[in-house]
Amino acid sequence: MIASLPVISSTSAFSPDELKRIEQGDILVDRGTPKDGEGVTARMVALIDAPVSKVAPAVHECEHFSKFVPRTIKSEKRSQSGNHRLCYVEIDAPFPLSNLWALTDAYSRYFDDGRFLRKWYLREGTFKKNTGYWSLLPHGDKSNKTLAIYWVETKPDISVPDFIIRSAQASSLPKLIKAIRKRVAR
């Protein structure tokens, strides 16, 4: 399951116009519907003004997410073995909904060419599905910037139409990149 995620691993996946917008600081967000029609998918792409080595901990060390990730009120690393982490995250949901939580298996890998990949899938929680990845690519002449690609397929186990979830993701994903940019700039 996790091996089949559609991971983007080079800038060739983007049009010249998209690359220009990314390099100008735009945060690109595409929303969609999963193949099974349940839930939503989203892809976000942005440039972060820090090398991959500095961005990777921000997207992988789940025990720190509650310190900077918007709406995350609790986060912890439940266990770790090599490049595998068991991560717990609780997300503040708007009234009258109950908070959402997920226990995910997360795997990471650094590649020889400087890329970093973190994939996760849902083990249990208040989601029917929650699978995704962060792909971090060195960018710039000295690889002093990171092209960050986030992809997620999710379906909260709540009675809310998918179009509302897509709308919420469209507004919350740019906040996530802004929070990561701020965290790695400190």
Query: 77-113: per-residue pLDDT in tens?
Result: 999 999 999 999 999 887 777 889 999 999 999 999 9
Q: Evaluate the omega torsion of the peptide bond into residue 94 and state whether it is cis, within 30 degrees of 0.
A: no
- 3-class DSSP assignment, residue 177: helix
Phi, psi (degrees; rounded to nearest 5) at 34: -60, 160
Number of structural domains (the chain) is 1
- For 52-77, write each residue's pLDDT tens digit: 999 999 999 999 999 999 999 999 99
Polymer length of the chain: 186
Write out the H or E segment, with its range, that includes residue 70.
none
CB-based contacts of 111, cutoff 8 Å, min separation 6: 117
CATH number for the domain spanning 56: value is 3.30.530.20
Residue 2 lies in a domain: no
Residue 12 lies in a domain: no
Residue 1 lies in a domain: no
- List the domain range (segments joined by +) for residue 34: 19-185
Is pLDDT at 170 greater than 70 in this prediction? no
Residue 6 lies in a domain: no
